[in-house]
Amino acid sequence: MKVIMVYVAMLMCVIPFPAFADDATVFPWAALITTGGAILVALLGWAFKLLRDYLKANVQNEAVADWLYRLDAVAETVVKDYLQSRVDDLKAAAKDGKIDEAERETLKQGAIDDVKAIVGIKSIEKMAKILGTNETGTDKLIGSLIEEKVYMTKLVRRK
């Protein structure tokens, strides 16, 4: 709204008044050129603002997509590492060969911490700001991604 008000004020400043015209035949053309120029400047300013907003949103969308792609790859790597090293050791140490709920939560939190360490705290904070969430929200996102990777890995192992 402020931008429109500024453009209207600029337009009002450059519109010539009949009292200032030297020749009555020149006035309509001068008024048209001056007013048209002001309108063109206002429209160009508005168009550049739209372009800037579009590019900013597009860059942010690409940054989020790239970040999610990298997060997916890191989560898959961490899950495979955990399944090969830690889970098999815990299952072997357990009497019944199964991991209890407390151990499962410990493994999940360890995987979340490993993903956050690899991706980087600054990157996570930046994406949390863009996505409009906090640290708990990003932890839930990473936790859900890890759960999905564990599920998909179990499906592949069963086949």
Give the tens place of pLDDT for each residue, 25-70: 555 666 666 677 777 777 777 777 887 888 777 777 888 888 888 8
Same domain, 37 and 65: no
Query: Domains in the chain: how many in total?
Result: 2
Q: Residues 118-155, buried b or exposed e (16+ Cβ, 10 A)?
A: ebeeeebeebbeeeeeeeeebbebbbebbeebbeeeee
CA distance 2 to 131: 27
Q: Which domain holds residue 83?
A: 58-158
Same domain, 86 and 38: no
Same domain, 44 and 65: no
Same domain, 46 and 63: no
CA distance 28 to 55: 40
Same domain, 101 and 138: yes
Write down which residue in 18, 36, 51 finishes a domain: 51
Same domain, 135 and 67: yes
Same domain, 16 and 65: no
Same domain, 149 and 76: yes
**3-state secondary structure at position 29:** helix
Same domain, 63 and 42: no
Same domain, 114 and 147: yes
- Spell out the per-residue pLDDT of the chain, length 159, in tens: 555 555 555 555 555 555 455 555 555 666 666 677 777 777 777 777 887 888 777 777 888 888 888 888 898 898 888 888 877 777 776 677 677 788 888 888 889 899 999 998 888 888 888 778 888 888 888 888 888 888 888 777 776
Same domain, 106 and 153: yes
Same domain, 32 and 101: no
Number of Cβ within a 10 Å radius of residue 115: 23
